[in-house]
Structure 1
C-alpha cells in the first residue's frame, strides 16, 4: 500500500471536485493539523471524545506509525483546480492482545451526511481485512448520534459493553 495511492474516489452531491481517499504519511502532519483546527468545536469534541488543545501533536500522532503495518490513517482529500484539502480522516490501530482494530473518524462539518464518512469506513475495513484483521471495534459517546448512525449504516453492532456515557460497537470483517 503506497502512501500516495488513491484508495477510493467519491463525488459528494453539490461538490465541484473529486474526493480521494488515501493513506496518510509524515508529510501530511501540517495539513492534518490545519484540518483539525478547522473543525467546529462540536465535531472536534465528538472526534476526540472531549476537548483537545494540542491539535498539532494529535496530527503528528495520526501519522507517527505510518510505516507500521497494523496502524494507518486514511485521509479524504478534496481535489479541485490543482488544490488538495483534507475533508476527513480516520485513524486505525490494531491491538493484538484484544485481537481487533480500533478506529476514530471525523469528517469536516460541511461534508457530513454526503457519503464521505461511509466511504472512509469502507476503505478502512478493506485495508484492515487485507492486513488479515478479522474484527474492528470503536467507542463513542452516547450523545454522538451521528457516529452511532454511521456505524449502524456501515454494519457495526452495539456490543453492549458501554457504560452510561459511552457506546461500544464492533464489526466482523469478511475476507
Structure 2
C-alpha cells in the first residue's frame, strides 16, 4: 500500500458518530492552537496527565508544545477531538502519533478530558487512529501505558490489542495490534485520500 503525505491535506477532518448520537470531530492541531492545547492539558486531572505522559507533568514545555503544533515534523502528527459545547468548539481529547516507514509501525498516545470520559470518545478516537495507520501504510500499531492505568488497559483489550512486556521500563506495558491495509469499515479522511491516490496510480 502506498503511503500518503498528510501534509498535503493539513486540515482534513473526520466526523465520528458517538453511541449517544453526538458528533465527534477529529482534525489536525492548527499552528495557531498552542494556547488552546496547553489549556486542555492544564485542565486534565493530575492522574490523567500522569497517565498520558507516563510521569508527573503540569503542562507541556515550550519545546514540546512546539512539536505538538507543527504537524508532520519528524513524521509525527497531532490531532484534537472536539465537540460543540454551549455553542463553542471544545477540545475533549487529543492524540499524537508517528509513523516509521522503515518498520511500517505506527506509535500513538491519547488522552480524554476527565469531564468527557466514559462517553465512547476514547473508543471512537482509537478507531480513527487505526484508520489513519492503515492509510499511512502501517502494518502494526502500538502504544505504551503505565501498568496502573486500568482505563487504558481496558480500552486496549476491548479494541483487540495484545499486551507484551515493555522493552525498557518494567513500570510500562506495551499494547500492539496488526493493521489490515485493505480494511475499509473504519471511515476517515486519510483512508479516502489514500484510496483516491491508489486509484489515480492505477489509471496512470
The answer to whether TM tops 0.5 is: yes
Query: Pick from 73, 78, 84: which aligns with 2:78?
Result: 73
The 3-state SS of whatever aligns with 1:8 is strand
User: Would you say 1:4 and 2:4 are equivalent positions?
Assistant: no
TM norm structure 2: 0.75
Give yes or no for contact 1:102–1:136 (8 Å, CA) kept in 2: yes
| Structure 2 equivalent of residue 33 of structure 1 | 38
Gaps of 5+ in 2: 1-5, 182-204
Count of aligned residue pairs for this structure pair: 172
Q: Aligned-pair distance for 1:152?
A: 1.1
Deviations 1:77-100 (A, max 9, x none): 012454111110010012345441
| Structure 2 equivalent of residue 159 of structure 1 | 164
The 3-state SS of whatever aligns with 1:42 is helix
Q: Aligned-pair distance for 1:4?
A: 3.1
| Structure 1 equivalent of residue 179 of structure 2 | 173
> RMSD across aligned C-alpha pairs, in angstroms?
2.3
Change (3 A) 1:69 1:130: farther
Q: Point out the structure with max Rg over C-alpha.
A: 2
TM norm structure 1: 0.86
Query: Pick from 96, 105, 128: which aligns with 1:91?
Result: 96
| Structure 1 equivalent of residue 202 of structure 2 | none
